[in-house]
A and B are shown apart, each in its own frame.
Chain A
Amino acid sequence: MRHMKRMDREVRAQARKNYFHYFRFWFIAIIIAIGVLGALAVVKSLKPAVSRGNNAAPDRRVYDYAEVLSEQEEGRLEDYIAGCEAEYHIDLVLVTINKDMEYGNSSWKAGMMNYADDFYDENNFGYNTIHGDGALLLDNWYEGQAGSWLSTCGSVYQKFSSYDIDRVLDKVYDQIEYSPYAAYKAYIDETCRRMNGGVEDIYIPGVVIFLLPIVVAVIYAGVHLKQSKAADTTRPNTYVVDGVAKRNVYTDRFLRKDVTKRVISTDSGGSGGGGSHYRSGGGGGHVSHSGVSHGGGGRRR
């Protein structure tokens, strides 16, 4: 009995040893990865934060005068903008209106541009300084004049070409009819992404983190479970004298032949034409009523 127990202990100890030996590289990789993550966190915490240089601007960033967002959505957008502003050091403002911009002799474009620029200037927006770095999206829901204008200032004005402005507006228009909240979030994301040099934040989607290990573990188990008793290693002539059959008769006599033919139909397929690259105008630089340099652009929906 004592002998059996000793053997059992030895077997268990061997099993543990085998286990740790087998997974040693995985465990080392995890320890190294956690170490790197910890080091990065320390470095980030030690890095001096870029402080906001302009305290004259209001805390509010979302002005939903057209009332297209719920209160919860407004709150979520405010929080989201706060995080993005801290990371990219620009002010991000959203204004929705329901206004006629073509009163008098004013054109829609001029009306939108002046409204957006003036709103930015009058509220003293700008991350680093008054009328400094930032962008404002003005979204008009007035019937027949629905459309958006993106006003840029400071570093955003320096960085954004008309092309960049148009791409931000594209992102907004892709979703505005279905979900204004998603469209305005896309404005923030796309503006930040382009301020980041057009580079997407690299991350591993949650579904990959969840599903990939399951798939790998199932395949791993399947591969290691597979085993066969043994392969059949005999050949048909294994037990035949000299390994060959004696051929008494071996003839192949031609009998007849027939030929059939078929016409191959040739369907000529047309090639698709490439689309032209559309760039809207109106984004260039200009000076607002208060004398601040702005960039911007917009179009109707």
Chain B
Amino acid sequence: MYCPYCDSQESQTREDASSAAMNICPNCGGSFEVPQHTSAMQCPYCDNYLIFNERVEGTYEPKLMIPFQMGKEVCKQAIRDKFKRFLFAPTDFLSEVKLNEMQGVYVPFWFYDYDLNCDFLAEGCKVRSWTSGNVQYTERSFYEIQRNLEIDFRKIPVDASIQMPDDVMDLMEPFGYDQLERFKPEYMSGFYAEKYNMTADLVESRAKQKMHDDAQVMLRDTYSGYSSVRELHNQMQVRHSAISYGLLPVWRYLYNYKDTIYPFYVNGQTGKIVGTAPLSKAKVLVYAGTLWASLTVLLAVLNGILQML
């Protein structure tokens, strides 16, 4: 069956892959190298998609996933729409041939739940000023600000892939969790996938940092009416936490320009694009130079016309 999203034939072929780097395609018998953390990929000989059981079972079995909601054609169009105004990109950057190299990838993510208690005490000052006659009055009123908030964070995502850049994966957010489902291996057919290759302990500091930053902003919003605030006590305590493992959909477009790889990532659920287009210096010079020359000629000719009148 042909899949219009990923341009592939669905196979659902599940291979009892060993940890060995080499694998043999059960469809065509071709032998090829399997990257260390890959759990699903395309056979380079017959284009059949393979899922490696050993890497989606047991401790590597994801509990949750969001299936791809955006097809390849939609993503290609989204990239075209975003970068069509960027004049100085190489001409073939948005070509059909290049964009066809885009791959759908299920990226491993850890999801962190935290039940947080924020206890906060501060002295706030409100300033009021008015004028009577030629005298200006300034009144300062001081208040004791006391807050105790319960903030329950659910599924703060942190990517568990060494290969994926952290800043880019953060910018991919947010994913819509209303489409979160239990993991089904058949969704992986037609896409690349990785098992987690960074443990939950290793990346938890990023989740805690996100939690802390968000909680601080929410707390600050509760006393935003003060001119100045002097903190006396600010304690954040996690009362309960939980971790789950899942896969999130990302389209990846790697554009090679002058021996440099420019990566672009598209959220496979929302279509959000992360990446900066490469710069063609020749185009910058030609376009800016043409504008300069055109304007100079136009002004000079206009000057000639004015003097003729």
Contact = CB atoms under 8 A, between A and B. Distances in A.
Contacts of B210: 239
Given A212-B295, A241-B152, A204 B302 contact: yes
A213 B87 contact: no
A19 to B, nearest CB: 7
Interface stretch (B186-194, B245-253, B283-291): B283-291
Interface stretch (A61-69, A129-137, A229-237): A229-237
Interface in A94-150: none
A1 interface: no
Interface in B294-309: 294-309
Nearest to A18: B91
A288 to B, nearest CB: 37
A40 interface: yes
Contacts of A34: 301
Interface string A24-36: 0011011001101
A258 B139 contact: yes
A37 B308 contact: yes
A236 B218 CA distance: 7
B153 A240 contact: yes
Contact of A27 (B283, B292, B294, B303): B294
B306 A204 contact: yes
Given A33-B305, A229-B276, A224 B88 contact: yes
A212 B303 CA distance: 14
Contact of A232 (B88, B171, B277, B289): B171
Nearest to A253: B144
Contacts of A262: 135-136, 138
A204 B299 contact: yes
A18 B143 CA distance: 64
B277 A213 contact: no
A217 interface: yes
B288 A221 contact: yes
B139 A233 contact: no
Nearest to A202: B306
B294 to A, nearest CB: 4
Contacts of A214: 292
Contacts of B268: none
A268 B215 CA distance: 53
Contacts of A86: none
Contact of A201 (B155, B272, B276, B307): B307
Interface string A148-178: 0000000000000000000000000000000
B222 interface: yes
B45 interface: no
B87 A224 contact: yes
Nearest to A260: B138
Nearest to A246: B150
Contacts of B298: 26, 29-30, 33
B279 interface: yes
B140 A258 contact: yes
Question: Which of A201, A202, A217, A233 counts the most chain B CB atoms within 10 A?
Answer: A217
B254 interface: no
Nearest to B297: A30
Nearest to A266: B134
Contact of A257 (B139, B171, B213): B139
Contacts of B153: 239-241
Nearest to A243: B218
B131 interface: yes
Interface in B177-204: none
A57 to B, nearest CB: 28
24 contacts: A22-B87, A23-B291, A26-B294, A30-B298, A34-B301, A37-B304, A204-B303, A208-B299, A213-B292, A217-B288, A220-B287, A220-B291, A225-B279, A230-B274, A239-B210, A245-B150, A247-B222, A248-B148, A251-B145, A252-B143, A252-B223, A255-B143, A257-B141, A263-B136
Given A14-B92, A221-B287, A241-B154, 9 more contacts: A27-B294, A214-B292, A216-B295, A229-B274, A229-B276, A234-B173, A239-B156, A250-B147, A252-B146
